[in-house]
Amino acid sequence: MAATSTATLIDVVVLVFARSELKTLVGTDALRTVLNGSQRAMFPEPGTMSLQPIWDLIEDQPGFDAEKAKPPMCRLKTWEGRLKVKVLMPHALEILDGATREHEAMLCNVGDDDLNKLLKLPATPTPTSKTRAIESSSASARQKPKRRISAGLALGLAGAGIIAAGISMYLTFGRSTSNTKSLDASDLTTEIKLADVRRAGTMIIATVPDSDTWLAKPEPERRKQLEHLGPKVLIQQASGVMLVDAKGGLLALFRLNKTPAVVFPKR
């Protein structure tokens, strides 16, 4: 049987973390976006999935607990045969033996039937009473996962006019409201020279002081710079980034959704 597709593997990773105690660190849509942008690191060669890039991502976030990271990582490892890929554990967890991995995997509130649904396989037989008791105990300590990060900006509903109006309102009133948080430019990127970086609600708005120089760069280069913002936007628990010029004019928009989206307004 052929190895599971990378798209399905990412679905599996998102499912496992959404059912783990790390679900409060990341939202499902945002995590999927970052993983989609990290496929080269996650899948270094055909038939292999590395969990190290995921560990590197969540380790940097406030509230990270290595003990809580074990169950989802071990669950993915125990599914190695069913996924038809070699799962490489993060370096920090390589020391765990098989028995420990099996035990930790049981603490993650996701089972074989959940995997079967993603793989479109028949349901597994009813678990034994011992297995059911363990899974029930694990499940009782958890609530249904909630998305912490907005699914995006709904550009199709908003339209360019409303986006521009939103920027204008932010520049006029946003700086004086309690709903904004000032950020360092390095919290977002070192590839683009930024000033006055703020998070207003779930949106990060940053000024590009030398906008003409930035706009003179080839569009593919600017697009790649924006796509690289994904992990930092995720860490800031935001849904996207608006880049504006010194007068508040929209230069570019990057939003987190099931796939990264970059929009350059017509000029």
- Residues in the chain predicted with pLDDT less than 50, given as ranges, are 1, 124, 126-178, 258
Question: What confidence score (pLDDT) does residue 120 get?
Answer: 77
What was the pLDDT predicted at 87? 93
| Contacts for 159-166: CB closer than 8 Å, 24+ residues apart | 160/250, 160/265, 163/242, 163/250, 163/253, 164/250
Q: Per residue in 110-119, pLDDT tens?
A: 888 888 888 8
> What are the CA-CA distances from residue 214 to residues 170, 205, 218, 255 (Å)?
23, 16, 9, 19
Each residue's pLDDT tens digit, 173-202: 344 444 578 888 888 888 899 988 888 777
Type and span of the H or E element at 161: helix 155-173
- Residue 138 to residue 128: CA distance in whole angstroms: 15
Strand order in the sheet with 250-255: 180-183, 195-200, 203-207, 240-244, 250-255, 261-263
Amino acid at 40: R
> Are the C-beta atoms of 254 and 222 separated by less than 8 Å?
no
Residue 85 parent element (H or E): none
CA angle at residue 63 from 118 to 100, to 5 degrees?
A: 55
pLDDT at 240: 81
150-162 per-residue burial string, b: 16 or more CB within 10 A, e: under 16 = bebbebeeeeeee
pLDDT at 260: 57
The whole-number pLDDT of residue 32 equals 80
Give the model's pLDDT for residue 159.
Answer: 36
Q: Are 214 and 208 in contact (CB under 8 A)?
A: yes
Q: Where in 121-263 does DSSP place strands (E)?
A: 180-183, 195-200, 203-207, 240-244, 250-255, 261-263
pLDDT at 146: 37
- pLDDT for 26: 67
